[in-house]
């Protein structure tokens, strides 16, 4: 597979191998799994199951993957999943049929899981009762599966809009009070679905004018639920999914009557996948960068062959319009913080021409933080993109119309999230959207500025190349930083960093927002975040630290930093700050621990570089370090510490 022969620069619109349009109904290649299993290649078989679970949405096929996963359990060591999550599955509806598919969907996004499933329709008591089996299980995440049948109240016919709003508030309060209780007992995050519309409309179109009408009420309820949900409640948008697939597809009354199935089998897989996405986002599996092919992916045709005038993009041509809409969708992803990159087999000048000269292009060259148009194998380019941006390979989502390129990337870089496209550009926005790799549970100010921040980094690189030595480069950056204890305002961003930083992260401890909030209020814990800026722009909140005070010792539990400010002195500045705070608390020794992971080799020597002494190595390879606070001499740092900037 090293040779790139056989991968033409732009695949033909219309596809060539039929592996596209009907991918949703395609039975997964179970034969491959079977053959690998028989040959004793259990890990490969397991990997194939998970890879297919990423895009198979057909229930019988997915169920078959579930059975193979179970058969392989114990035989294959599992992927190097970042975490095993404890999930409680609580039902106001039947959940038995959801369990195995949800477990598989979670594993497909990189999480092992230990699941507790409560009995049918016991969700309320399980959440309220501090001695319930759910509370005893200590879940990290609770998935509460309910349907309109679980609603405690409905409006009365003829109720005014105010009456109906009153019912809406009461129902919301009932629901969120259950969540509050469970959260108080366990500190877990809660995934609560909103409600799909009912498939019947006894009042017909008139219902749209009558607030008390059932679907009218459900719409209001869903809106208020989203408005009122606290940070630890994550809404599983069943209303949106039911609209996407159609209510009559979403809800199958036959299986509701038989087994209280909350969702039809046809839509069961999208439902569990959507749920798994939220869990993934909570624990940091959100992808960061969308890598796009060009020919027949962002525009129709092959620019190198067809020329600038020959490509299909923009109004006046149906296919061109489809590509334009896809570009608009990609632009919206960028606006919400997704980085964009190009990876195309092309002459660079040809690849750039549409961005620079074609008036109908929605995406511009400056929307991309990396632009690889060359003839190298795509996996090589993808690796370079990840390394340039200082992000993991698994943070890349790859979109390419050419099935051969997709397969090449899947084989060479299994961590990359490869989106299955059809051979029709009109499907692209939906398929990328349904893949759901950019699910996140909160947006921070940094998300909106991310592309800008990466671009500023490029300018910094250029300055560094021109500076005669590193110290003068740092001085020329005119850096400023703010260091403060955790604050409400920044808690979303702090949680986000804690859950997604992998490289500059000493302990890779993952915490929920409410755990961060608890730390913020704990007087025995010294917390700190760092925001930094320089002459090229604001880097935003880029470092998080906390340590627990015990007698005259301070034990560092978390120290992480965004790689965009590597080697700029931020860690030295933070060390100075921490030692000063430690002295003020009467601390004499500062302890740190480095817990190695496959990704954090970068900070193996972090404590040593800061002058800590090695005091031991644990069985699991963790190294322990100690700093004598009294003899510490502050580092010279070319960052000005300010109150605000």
Partner 1 sequence: MDTNNIWERLTKVFRETFDDDQLIVGPETTADDIEDWDSLMHIQLLVAIEQAFGIHFNTGEVVSLANVGEMAALIENKSS
What does the binding site for partner 1 look like in residue numbers (CB under 8 A)?
27, 30, 34, 58-60, 63-64, 67-68, 96-97, 253-255, 257-259, 265
Structure tokens at 216: 């009218």
Q: What's the min distance (Å) between Cβ of 547 and partner 1?
A: 50
In terms of CB distance, is 257 or 633 closer to partner 1? 257
Q: What's the min distance (Å) between Cβ of 644 and partner 1?
A: 59
Q: What's the min distance (Å) between Cβ of 28 and partner 1?
A: 11
Q: What's the min distance (Å) between Cβ of 256 and partner 1?
A: 10
Q: Give the single-character DSSP code of 27.
A: P
CB atoms within 10 A of CB 329: 15
In terms of CB distance, is 30 or 520 closer to partner 1? 30
Structure tokens at 405: 């390129």
Q: What's the min distance (Å) between Cβ of 270 and partner 1?
A: 15
Residue 643 C-alpha from the chain's centroid = 32
Place of tokens 């349904």: 434
Q: What are phi and psi of 332, to 5 degrees?
A: -65, -35
Residue 217 C-alpha from the chain's centroid = 32
In terms of CB distance, is 34 or 535 closer to partner 1? 34
CA distances from 423 to 27, 249, 400, 427, 437 (A): 18, 25, 11, 8, 21
Q: Distance (Å, rounded) from C-alpha 70 to C-alpha 100?
A: 9
CB atoms within 10 A of CB 206: 11
In terms of CB distance, is 68 or 251 closer to partner 1? 68
Q: What are phi and psi of 301, to 5 degrees?
A: 95, 180
- The H-or-E segment that residue 572 falls in is helix 570-584
The 3-state secondary structure of 272-305 reads HHHHHHHHHHHCCCCCCEEEECCECCCEECCHHH
Q: What's the min distance (Å) between Cβ of 27 and partner 1?
A: 7
In terms of CB distance, is 195 or 245 closer to partner 1? 245
- The H-or-E segment that residue 510 falls in is none
Q: What's the min distance (Å) between Cβ of 169 and partner 1?
A: 37
Q: Distance (Å, rounded) from C-alpha 56 to C-alpha 238?
A: 20
- Secondary structure class of 515 (helix, strand, coil): helix
In terms of CB distance, is 65 or 312 closer to partner 1? 65
Q: Distance (Å, rounded) from C-alpha 371 to C-alpha 381?
A: 10
Q: What's the min distance (Å) between Cβ of 265 and partner 1?
A: 4
In terms of CB distance, is 40 or 257 closer to partner 1? 257
Q: What's the min distance (Å) between Cβ of 260 and partner 1?
A: 12
In terms of CB distance, is 44 or 163 closer to partner 1? 44
Q: Distance (Å, rounded) from C-alpha 269 to C-alpha 457?
A: 41
In terms of CB distance, is 38 or 521 closer to partner 1? 38
């Amino acid at each position: 597979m090293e040779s790139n022969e056989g991968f033409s620069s732009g695949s033909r619109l219309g596809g060539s191998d039929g592996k596209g349009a009907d991918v949703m109904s395609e039975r997964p290649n179970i034969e491959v799994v079977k053959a690998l299993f028989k040959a004793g290649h259990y890990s490969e078989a397991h990997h194939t199951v998970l890879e297919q679970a990423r895009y198979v949405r057909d229930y019988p096929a997915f169920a078959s993957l579930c059975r193979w996963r179970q058969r392989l359990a114990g035989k294959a060591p599992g992927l190097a999943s970042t975490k095993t999550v404890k999930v409680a599955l609580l039902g106001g509806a039947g959940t038995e049929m959801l369990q195995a598919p949800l477990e598989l969907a979670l594993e497909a996004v990189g999480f092992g899981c230990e699941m507790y499933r409560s009995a049918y329709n016991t969700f309320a008591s399980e959440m309220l009762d501090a001695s319930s089996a759910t509370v005893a299980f200590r879940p990290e995440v609770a998935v509460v599966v309910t349907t309109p049948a679980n609603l405690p109240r409905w409006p009365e016919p003829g109720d005014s809009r105010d009456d109906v709003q009153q019912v809406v508030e009461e129902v919301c309060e009932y629901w969120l009070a259950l969540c509050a209780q469970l959260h108080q007992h366990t500190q877990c995050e809660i995934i609560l679905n909103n409600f799909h519309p009912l498939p019947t409309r006894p009042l017909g179109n008139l219902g749209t004018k009558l607030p008390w009408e059932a679907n009218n009420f459900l719409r209001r309820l869903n809106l208020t639920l989203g408005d009122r949900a606290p940070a630890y409640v994550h809404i599983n948008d069943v209303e949106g999914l039911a609209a996407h697939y159609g209510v009559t597809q979403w809800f199958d009354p036959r299986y509701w009557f038989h087994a209280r199935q909350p969702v039809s089998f046809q839509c069961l897989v999208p439902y569990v996948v959507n749920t798994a996405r939220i869990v993934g986002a909570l624990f940091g599996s959100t992808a960061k960068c969308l890598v796009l092919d060009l020919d027949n992916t962002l525009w129709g045709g092959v620019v190198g062959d067809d020329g600038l005038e020959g490509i299909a993009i923009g109004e006046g041509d149906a296919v061109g319009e489809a590509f334009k809409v896809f570009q608009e969708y990609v632009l919206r992803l960028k606006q919400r913080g997704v980085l964009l990159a190009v990876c195309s087999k092309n002459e660079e000048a040809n690849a750039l021409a549409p961005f620079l000269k074609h008036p109908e292009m929605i995406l511009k060259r400056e929307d991309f933080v990396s632009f690889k148009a060359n003839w190298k194998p795509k996996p090589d380019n993808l690796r370079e993109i990840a390394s340039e941006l200082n992000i993991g390979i698994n943070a890349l989502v790859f979109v390419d119309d050419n099935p051969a390129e997709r397969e090449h990337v899947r084989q060479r870089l299994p961590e990359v999230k490869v989106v299955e496209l059809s051979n029709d550009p009109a499907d692209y926005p939906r398929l990328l959207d349904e893949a759901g790799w950019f699910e996140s549970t909160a947006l921070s100010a940094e998300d909106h500025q991310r592309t800008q921040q990466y671009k500023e980094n490029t300018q910094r690189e250029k300055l560094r190349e021109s500076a005669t030595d590193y110290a003068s480069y740092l001085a020329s950056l005119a850096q400023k930083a703010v260091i403060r204890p955790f604050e409400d305002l920044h808690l979303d961003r702090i949680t986000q960093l804690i859950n997604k930083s992998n490289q500059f992260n000493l302990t890779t401890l993952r915490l929920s927002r409410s755990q961060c909030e608890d730390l913020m209020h704990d007087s025995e814990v010294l917390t700190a975040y760092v925001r930094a800026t320089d002459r090229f722009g604001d880097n935003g909140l880029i470092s998080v630290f906390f340590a627990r005070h015990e007698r005259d010792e301070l034990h560092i539990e978390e120290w992480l930093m965004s790689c965009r400010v590597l080697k700029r002195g931020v860690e030295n500045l933070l060390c100075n700050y921490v030692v000063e705070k430690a002295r003020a608390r009467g601390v004499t020794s500062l302890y740190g621990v480095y817990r190695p992971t496959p990704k954090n080799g970068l900070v193996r020597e972090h404590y040593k570089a800061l002058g800590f002494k090695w005091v031991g190595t644990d069985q699991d390879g963790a190294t322990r370090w100690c700093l004598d606070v009294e003899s510490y001499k502050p580092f010279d740092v070319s960052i000005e510490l300010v109150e605000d900037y």
